[in-house]
Structure formats: structure tokens, C-alpha cells
């Protein structure tokens, strides 16, 4: 048993050894196979690696070749870059030089441009100077020509009067008209005294009527709606209705006596379409019609001197009182605080001027209000012209001051050597008369005002500033002296006529003068009467060869 067991154990051991051997063999084979596989894999890997190395080597060789090529290229590019750098440096230096040259050229160009601009400005300035000098020369020539024509025109006015006295009427008319024409069209003063008088002689612009020797014509009034008619009142108690008929040398003044009573010293007269009102100094108002019917109306005691119409009522002025006259009745007197010098109606208000220089205004209801004086001196006569809104005031020394609607004195009219007693206006012409036996005509449209405005503009301007920008090319309107007429007696009364061209003048020696104060109207009368033009020989003789010949007819 034991042997069997031994043998079995041996067999089992042998089997186990065999099995172990087989297992070991197999494991060895398996391991060898694994190692072989690993070796094969390694060989393959090595082969792959060798192949890859060969490839890498070839690639590396190619890369090296490429690197050498790149290096060669890089070296070439570096060399080129260095060359470009050198070239860029050279170009930069050249550019800097060119830039510097450009800047210098720009500076020179700017300097040249400035010089060219300066030269251009100088050239333009020289051109402007040349044009200005040419214009100045033209203006100087125009001024010289204008002054020459104006001077010649005034000489023609004098010559016309001389020729008329010599009986050469036709030539005198031509000379008078040419004198006016030149002054009118060359902004001269067509109211130059000799030119105006030559026109008046040619057109018979002055007609006269004579009262009896003891009469002084204290007052004249126009007749409403009746051209060339007036009513006259004297200190000798006369009231007459004057009418001018005819024209030219055939004009005559006829008179109709409406009242005469030498005890009445008439100082004022006023007319409407139905009645004439004559105010006596001693205190009687004579109400007359045009047929001569008279109604004396006694007044409160006072020294009466004026009549004005206010709002349809008559205001009778004495030195110490005022009285209304309406519907045939006289109101109770309005006592005045001071001695009244003169008065005038102005746009529904009564302007009261006192002898001490004070001033007040009164309305149609009789309400009086003290105002600041319009002038620094006492006013002795006044006239208001509704058409131009001009208030003309005179003072004791004869100076006349025209005031506009804002009470601004627009000018000082100085000519009278004594007290100015009466003022009238026809259009733009102020007519004044006074104790110096003179009558002056002031044509305001010819006056050159410092403001540069004309008379009508001055009448509407509240303020006026001296015009310092008057154009040099403008030839000033000529203003010389007013037309003057001298009479034997004091000029006591001046009154406009409703025709718009004439004034009536009354003197202390009983003369009544009808005067045409429109130079234009008389010139047109002469022009209508002229039958021919100057001959060229007459033109050269009277006008002069320096003024081109022209036909005026």
C-alpha cells in the first residue's frame, strides 16, 4: 500500500513535474514568444525608427538644405536690408535735405507771396489813389464849372436889370430867365437878390397901391377863397378891400372903401367869407360885410392890438386882457398876469408871449398854462404856418427864429437891423418886415442845414445831429443872403395871399405892395412870354464862351 501510495505519489509528482515542465515550457515558450514578439516589435520599431530616422535624416537634410537656402536668402535679405537701410538712410538724409529745401522754398514762397500780396495791395491802393485823384479832379472840375455857372448866373441877373433900364426888354427877359435857370439847375440860390429882382421886373412881380398920405397900413388880411384880394386897415380909420386884376405890366390894384372914420386907430384885421373884423386900438371892434355895412362893438378898456381865430371863435388881444367874440357878443375879459407882447394860434392852442420873456398856452376853453419860454429873449412877433408846421418868432433886435413842431430852433435868420414887426409864409419862403424899412425873403428850401436834412425834414425831426458824413462829391446848395427890398416907411404888416405865390405888404407911409415871392412862378411867366433864344453872338457876349450854348425856349 505504501508502495502503491509511493508510486502513486511519484506518478503524481512526475505528472506534476511534467505538468509543471509543460506549463513551464509553455510559459517559457509563451514568454519567448512574447519576447520574440517584443523583439519583433522592437525590431519593427527600430526598423520604423531607422526608417523614420532615415526619413528624418533626409528631412533634416532637406531642412538643412532649406535652412542653408533660407540662410542664404536671409543673408541676401539681410544684405539687401542693409543696403535698403543704407539706401533708406541716404533717402532719409536726402528727404531731410529736400524737406529743408522745401521748407526754405515755402518760406521763400510765403515771403514772395506776401511781397506779391503787398505789391498787389500797393497796386490796388495806387489804383484807388488814381481813381480817387481822378474823381477828385472830376469833382474839382464839376465844382469849378458849377461855381463858374453860378457866378455867371448872378452876373446875368444884374445885367438883366441894366438892360431893362436901357429899354432892351427882350434881352432883359432872356437874361433874367437864364440867370434863374442856371441857379435852379446847378443848386444855386435862385433867390439871389439880383436874380429875383430881375425876374420880378420881367414878370411885373411887384404892384403897388397908395393910401392917403397920413395913413399907416397897420394890418392886412387875406380874403378866404379869393386869390389876389385882401382887406387893409390903417391907423387913420380906413378899412379897404383891395383886388389885383390883370397880369404882367397890365396888372392893377383897385380898392373898395368899406369904412372910414379917422378916430379909429385900427391895429388888426381879420376876414372870413362873410365878414371883416377890424380891431381899433382904443377898444372898438368893427364888424363889416363886403358891402360896407358896419356894426361897431365896444370892448372892455385895454390897448388892443391883435385878432386870431381859435376853434371858430375870435380872440381879441389887448396888452392886459383877452376877450372872446362869438355870435355878436363879447365875453368878460380874461385878465393877464403880465403885459402881452404878441400871440398866435397853433394847432388849436393860443401861444401867449409876454413882454418879460415868459410864455403860456391857452386852449379854446380859456384854460391857461405857463410853459417854459421857447426862446431866451422876449418874442415881439410870431407867425404859424399850418402847411409846414413852422412857428416863426422874432425878437427885439430883428432876429427871426424858425421853430419846428417840437419847438426846436432850426436856424437863425439875421438880417434886420431893427425890430421885426410882421412875419408871413408862402410855401417854404418866410417873409419878414420891420422898423428898418426892409422886407426880407428867406427861401428855406435853399438853406443848407448842418444836419444835412432839408427844410421839410427839419420840420419833422425832433433832434438833429450835425452830419459829418456828407459826401465830398456833393456840391452844397448855395445859400447867400435873403432877397431884400427897401421902402420909404416902416414895414408894419405882411400877409400871404391864398394863391400861394404872393404876399401883401403894408408900410407906415400908406403903401400897399403885392409881391410875387415865387421865383419859379415868375420864371415860368417869363418863359411863356419869351419869343426866341439867345443868338450865339449874344450868348458869347452875355453868358460867355466857357459855357456851352443852349436853347432855353
For 322-379, what is the HEC assignment? EEEEECCEECCCEECCCCEEEEEEECCEEEEEECCCCEEEECCCCCEEEECCCCCCCE
Contact predicate 181/190, CB 8 Å:
no
**The three three-digit cell numbers of residue 124, written as one number:** 490796388
Would you say residue 15 lies in a domain?
no
Does 445 reside within a domain? yes
Distance CA 232, CA 237 (A): 10
Q: In whole angstroms, how far apart are CA 335 and each of 282, 324, 354, 518? A: 17, 12, 13, 42
Contacts by 534-540 with C-beta closer than 8 Å and gap 24+? 534/174, 534/178, 538/171, 538/174
Answer for the pair 337, 321: CB distance below 8 angstroms, yes or no. no
The segments of the chain whose pLDDT lies below 70 read 1-36, 39, 43, 46-47, 49-50, 52-53, 56, 59-60, 67, 81, 88, 213, 466-480
Nearest in space to 430 (alpha carbons), one of 415, 440, 421 = 440
CA distance 378 to 47: 149
User: Is residue 257 assigned to a domain?
Assistant: yes
Residue 171: predicted pLDDT: 93
Compute the distance between CA of residue 489 and CA of residue 257 in angstroms, rounded to an integer: 23
Residue 321: which H helix or E strand, with range? strand 321-326
pLDDT at 44: 73
Q: What is the pLDDT of residue 453?
A: 86
Contact 534, 210 (CB under 8 A): no
Domain assignment present for residue 335? The answer is yes
Q: Give a yes or no: residue 62 inside a domain.
A: no
Q: Within a domain: residue 234?
A: yes
Residue 485 falls within a domain, yes or no? yes
Name the one residue in this structure whose C-alpha cell is 378898456. 301
Residues, the chain: 553
- Domain CATH code at residue 392: 2.130.10.10
Is 165 among the domain residues?
no
pTM over 0.85: no
Q: How many domains does the chain have?
A: 1
Print the domain residue range for 525.
190-543
Amino acid at each position: 500500500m505504501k508502495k502503491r501510495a509511493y508510486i502513486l505519489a511519484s506518478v503524481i509528482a512526475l505528472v506534476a513535474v511534467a505538468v509543471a515542465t509543460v506549463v513551464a515550457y509553455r510559459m517559457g515558450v509563451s514568454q519567448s514568444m512574447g519576447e520574440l514578439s517584443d523583439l519583433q516589435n522592437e525590431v519593427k520599431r527600430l526598423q520604423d525608427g531607422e526608417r523614420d530616422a532615415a526619413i528624418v535624416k533626409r528631412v533634416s537634410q532637406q531642412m538643412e538644405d532649406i535652412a542653408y537656402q533660407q540662410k542664404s536668402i536671409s543673408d541676401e535679405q539681410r544684405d539687401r536690408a542693409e543696403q535698403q537701410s543704407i539706401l533708406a538712410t541716404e533717402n532719409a538724409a536726402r528727404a531731410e535735405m529736400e524737406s529743408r529745401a522745401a521748407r526754405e522754398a515755402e518760406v521763400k514762397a510765403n515771403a514772395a507771396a506776401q511781397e506779391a500780396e503787398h505789391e498787389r495791395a500797393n497796386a490796388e491802393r495806387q489804383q484807388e489813389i488814381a481813381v480817387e485823384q481822378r474823381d477828385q479832379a472830376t469833382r474839382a472840375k464839376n465844382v469849378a464849372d458849377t461855381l463858374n455857372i453860378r457866378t455867371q448866373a448872378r452876373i446875368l441877373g444884374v445885367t438883366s436889370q441894366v438892360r431893362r433900364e436901357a429899354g432892351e426888354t427882350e434881352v432883359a427877359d432872356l437874361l433874367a430867365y437864364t440867370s434863374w435857370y442856371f441857379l435852379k439847375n446847378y443848386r444855386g440860390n435862385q433867390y439871389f437878390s439880383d436874380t429875383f429882382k430881375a425876374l420880378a421886373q420881367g414878370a411885373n412881380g411887384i404892384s403897388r397901391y397908395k393910401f392917403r398920405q397920413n395913413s399907416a397900413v397897420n394890418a392886412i388880411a387875406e380874403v378866404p377863397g379869393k386869390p389876389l384880394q385882401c382887406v387893409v386897415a390903417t391907423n387913420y380909420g380906413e378899412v379897404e378891400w383891395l383886388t389885383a386884376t390883370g397880369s404882367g405890366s397890365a396888372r392893377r390894384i383897385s380898392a373898395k372903401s368899406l369904412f372910414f372914420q379917422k378916430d379909429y386907430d385900427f391895429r388888426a384885421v381879420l376876414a372870413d367869407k362873410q365878414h371883416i373884423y377890424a380891431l381899433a386900438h382904443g377898444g372898438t371892434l368893427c364888424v363889416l360885410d363886403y358891402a360896407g355895412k358896419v356894426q361897431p362893438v365896444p370892448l372892455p378898456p385895454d390897448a388892443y392890438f391883435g385878432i386870431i381865430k381859435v376853434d371858430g371863435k375870435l380872440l381879441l388881444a389887448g396888452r392886459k386882457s383877452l376877450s372872446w367874440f362869438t355870435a355878436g357878443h363879447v365875453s368878460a375879459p380874461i385878465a393877464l398876469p403880465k403885459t402881452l407882447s404878441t400871440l398866435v394860434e397853433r394847432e388849436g392852442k393860443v401861444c401867449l408871449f409876454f413882454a418879460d420873456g415868459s410864455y403860456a398856452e391857452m386852449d379854446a376853453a380859456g384854460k391857461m398854462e405857463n410853459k417854459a419860454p421857447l426862446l431866451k429873449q422876449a418874442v415881439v412877433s410870431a407867425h404859424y404856418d399850418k402847411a409846414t408846421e413852422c412857428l416863426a418868432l422874432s425878437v427885439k433886435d430883428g432876429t427871426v427864429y424858425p421853430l419846428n413842431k417840437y419847438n426846436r430852433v432850426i436856424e437863425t435868420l439875421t438880417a434886420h437891423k431893427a425890430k421885426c414887426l410882421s412875419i408871413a409864409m408862402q410855401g417854404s419862403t418866410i417873409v419878414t418886415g420891420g422898423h428898418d424899412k426892409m422886407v426880407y425873403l428867406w427861401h428855406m428850401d435853399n438853406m443848407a442845414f448842418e444836419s444835412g436834412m432839408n427844410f421839410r425834414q427839419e420840420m419833422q425831426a425832433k433832434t438833429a445831429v450835425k452830419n459829418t458824413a456828407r459826401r465830398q462829391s456833393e456840391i452844397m446848395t448855395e445859400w447867400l443872403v435873403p432877397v431884400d427890398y427897401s421902402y420909404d416907411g416902416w414895414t408894419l404888416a405882411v400877409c400871404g395871399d391864398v394863391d400861394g405865390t404872393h404876399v401883401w405888404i403894408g408900410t407906415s407911409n400908406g403903401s400897399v405892395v403885392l409881391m410875387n415871392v415865387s421865383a419859379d412862378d415868375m420864371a415860368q411867366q417869363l418863359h411863356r412870354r419869351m419869343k426866341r433864344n439867345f443868338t450865339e453872338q449874344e450868348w458869347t457876349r452875355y453868358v460867355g464862351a466857357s459855357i456851352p450854348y443852349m436853347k432855353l425856349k
